Amino acid sequence: MKEEKTIEAAFGYVFHRPELLRTAITHSSWANENGGGASHNERQEFLGDAVLELCVSWKLFSLFPQAREGDLTRLRSRLVSTTALAELAHELGLQHSLNLGKGEENQGGRHRDTLLSDALEAVLGAVFEDGGYDAARRTVDHIFRHRWPETLEYTPNKDFKTQLQEVTQRMYKNRPVYVLVDSHGPEHAKEFVVRLNLPNGQSFTTRGASLKRAEQDAARRALEACGALENRSPAE
């Protein structure tokens, strides 16, 4: 119940049928380990993928009435890429509320981009089931409120590692240090564990499906702790 309320607050939507949200945050690995007949979120992810594309398309169509099809397609692709959606899911705290099987949990599924982006789409699919298109459109507008482009021109933000290096040089006259603590799992689903050490003695340990992803996530957390997170990293 607490997890559901947290998600509702993050997404700006209160479910009339909370069972739809419970299904949306339940991965198939959990359903398989708790009885094959248990509900999981794959169908909602299928629906949410279409809902998200429509809502984002309409928002961009409305923001840029003179834009060409190619420009709108380019902007939409950046907004709904797997990496961008996983980053958004992290910002919303969705990873903390997912129901995962033990095997998936042990393999780092809670921090895997594809799983997180699928879960985000599943929640949006559940919103559509529960409240229809208008509710889904308002929810997408809410969770993307800091991400909608202001112009058709794309100016990449500095990534989190670059931002952090600038901050630590300014504050401590020194650089952060990234240490690969561990890597495990099969080649197709390897997980990397990284520890970031700041010059002031603080450290942050993160996991990711790639070394780059783990280091970027560690840098993001450090920036948040320093109160210096100003710009979002571009999608990889």
**Residues assigned a catalytic role:** 49, 121
DSSP 8-state code for residue 101: -
Q: At what angle do helices 113-143 and 42-63 cross, to 10 degrees?
A: 40
Contact 118, 104 (CB under 8 A): no
DSSP 29-86: HHHHHT-TTS--SHHHHHHHHHHHHHHHHHHHHHH-TT--HHHHHHHHHHHSSHHHHH
Question: Which two three-digit tokens encode residue 20?
Answer: 């739809």
Which residues make Cβ contacts (< 8 Å) with residue 101, sequence separation at least 6? 27, 29, 30, 32, 33
Q: Compute the chain's Rg from CA coordinates.
A: 19
Which residues make Cβ contacts (< 8 Å) with residue 15, sequence separation at least 6? 4, 8, 21, 126, 127, 130
